[in-house]
């Protein structure tokens, strides 16, 4: 079989060049030429797979297509199923990324050992030897007797194995180590990752194989390789957590078969990753008494409400430029909230260092924590503790209004279930029927919420 000819295509304009150049001659963009495979009508490697396309496809009315629920295959780990949207889908391609040593291989080995009892599962290892994987399975106490292992990084050999055995699920660990003989670049390069992921996705759709790709991440925490890698796959999951902590978070950033921003919480133990039954307990500190600068809020991670403690430390600044630091929240939003606090509540912090922390290492992106952040700042500045049975949520606008948030009733019910007795919420989120054991205080403006702090 003749080796496919390689060309260099511009990622900006799509122009092709026979050799790599620093600048694209067509659009004059710099460093945009990447290696790819030249496709010719006379010698197309995939022509036999797409016979009949030239005649055109058959059109059909959208109303005539029967909508049916997608069958799910549970993985045996409910937190992982939650992030996936209920389980694995036949022919689906899942990309899971995370820092080295955070637990990606451990979790997938646990999943394969469970699924191997009822389906054919193949673990393709490009980073570890079979002996290392066997030692891990033994250390975790897993029954890996039904899991088949392939130590290979050559794409053509991996595809031949999948076509021969046609497994139900295959794990590729990792996509950055796989290479294709059709390309001259090294494994892990942009061209290799793009080509290998495209071919694995194609065979997954053709044979109905569920493929899970393990990906590396960069220093910024994003998946290494081309951006098109995330567009090719059906689901993108990120493994988060500090290696010095035993807790791990899996977050869905893309899911064609379920909701995005779902969160799965795990604890790393000697027997592998274990599910956390009550995730809210991870993000709440256990103080002996009331502490100034601490406020409990409720955030939504997908369909799950989580109680998180927001801590603030406000101290007199000894430098001309006071510090504004955030851990787990957006720093630019903190600057905006401090301006709102000064303008509409008359509480200046221009000569104070302000530090904000979301307990447990969770990252919060939604604005529903605005009110809790401001109350924690005022509590620390005035050295006046908040009630430890109080929860606060609400978005704060530039005019000082407290705006409603989504899922207000779910947030309040979760707080009541965990024993909280008082809540300060936007007026539009106030429940129509009273929630047992929970006093709800509805506010429309920031000043009203601060008055509740003064009266408590």
pLDDT in tens, 18-50: 888 899 888 888 888 888 776 554 444 444 444
- Mean residue pLDDT of the chain comes to 87
How much of the chain exceeds pLDDT 70, in percent?
Answer: 91
Name the class of domain 282-455. alpha beta
Specify the CATH number of the domain 78-277: 3.40.50.300
**Closest C-alpha to 293, from 367, 352, 366:** 352
pLDDT at 349: 92
Spatial CB neighbours of 93, under 8 Å, sequence gap ≥ 6: 200, 201, 204, 210, 211, 212, 213, 232, 233, 234, 235
Strongest mean pLDDT among 121-125, 217-221, 248-252, 287-291: 121-125
217-221, 313-317, 376-380, 402-406: range with lowest mean pLDDT: 217-221
pLDDT tens profile 290-317:
889 999 999 988 778 889 999 999 999 9
Q: Is the dihedral of CA 327, 332, 338, 341 positive or negative?
A: negative
**Separation between Cα atoms, residue 86 and residue 75, nearest integer Å:** 9
**Which carries the bigger pLDDT value, residue 452 or residue 158?**
158
User: Which strands sit side by side in the sheet containing 324-327, from one edge to the other?
Assistant: 324-327, 352-358, 304-316, 294-301, 390-392, 422-426, 439-443
pLDDT at 1: 45
User: Could you identify the residue written with the tokens 């009508």?
Assistant: 41
Confidence of residue 4 (pLDDT cuts 50, 70, 90): low
In terms of C-beta density within 10 A (0-12 exposed, 13-18 middle, 19 or more buried), how is residue 54 classed? exposed
For the chain, the domains span 1-40, 78-277, 282-455
Confidence of residue 454 (pLDDT cuts 50, 70, 90): confident
Residue 365, pLDDT > 90, answer no
Global pTM reads 0.74
Asked if residues 212 and 104 have their Cβ atoms less than 8 Å apart, the reply is no
Confidence of residue 58 (pLDDT cuts 50, 70, 90): confident
């Amino acid at each position: 079989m003749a080796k496919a000819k390689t060309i260099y295509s511009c990622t900006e304009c799509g122009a092709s060049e026979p050799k790599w150049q620093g600048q694209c001659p067509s659009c004059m963009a710099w460093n945009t030429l990447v290696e790819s495979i030249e496709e010719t009508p006379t010698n197309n490697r995939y022509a036999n797979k797409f016979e009949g396309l030239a005649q055109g496809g058959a059109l059909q009315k959208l109303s005539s297509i029967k909508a049916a629920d997608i069958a799910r295959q549970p993985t045996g780990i409910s937190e992982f199923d939650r992030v996936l949207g209920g389980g694995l889908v036949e022919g689906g391609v899942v990309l899971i990324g995370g820092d080295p040593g955070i637990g990606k291989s451990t979790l997938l080995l646990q999943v394969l050992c469970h699924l191997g009892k009822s389906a054919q599962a193949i673990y393709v290892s490009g980073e570890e030897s079979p002996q290392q994987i066997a030692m891990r399975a033994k250390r975790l106490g897993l029954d890996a007797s039904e899991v088949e292992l392939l130590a290979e990084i050559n794409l053509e050999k991996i595809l031949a194995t999948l076509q021969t055995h046609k497994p139900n699920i295959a794990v590729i660990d990792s996509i950055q180590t796989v290479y294709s003989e059709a390309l001259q670049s090294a494994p892990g390069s942009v061209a290799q990752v793009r080509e290998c992921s495209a071919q694995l996705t194609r065979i997954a759709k053709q044979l109905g194989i569920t493929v899970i790709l393990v990906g590396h991440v960069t220093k910024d925490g994003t998946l290494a390789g081309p951006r098109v890698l995330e567009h090719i796959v059906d689901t993108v999951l990120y493994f988060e957590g500090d290696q010095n902590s035993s807790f791990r978070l899996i977050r869905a950033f893309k899911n064609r078969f379920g909701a995005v921003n779902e969160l799965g919480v795990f604890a790393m133990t000697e027997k592998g990753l274990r599910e956390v039954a009550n995730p809210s307990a991870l993000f709440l500190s256990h103080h002996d008494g009331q502490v100034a600068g601490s406020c409990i809020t409720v955030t939504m991670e997908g369909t799950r409400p989580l109680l998180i403690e927001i801590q603030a430390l406000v101290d007199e600044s000894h430098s001309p430029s006071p510090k504004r630091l955030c851990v787990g929240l957006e720093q630019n939003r903190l600057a905006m909230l401090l301006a709102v606090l000064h303008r509409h509540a008359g509480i200046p912090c221009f000569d104070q260092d302000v530090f904000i922390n979301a307990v447990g290492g969770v990252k919060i992106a939604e604005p529903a924590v605005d009110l809790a952040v401001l109350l924690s700042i005022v509590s620390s500045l005035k050295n006046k503790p908040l009630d430890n049975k109080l929860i606060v949520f609400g978005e704060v606008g530039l005019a000082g209004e407290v705006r409603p948030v989504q899922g207000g009733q779910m947030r309040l019910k979760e707080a009541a279930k965990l024993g909280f007795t008082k809540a300060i919420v936007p007026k539009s989120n106030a429940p129509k029927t009273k929630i047992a054991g929970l006093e709800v205080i509805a506010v429309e403006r920031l000043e009203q919420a601060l008055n509740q702090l003064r009266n408590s």
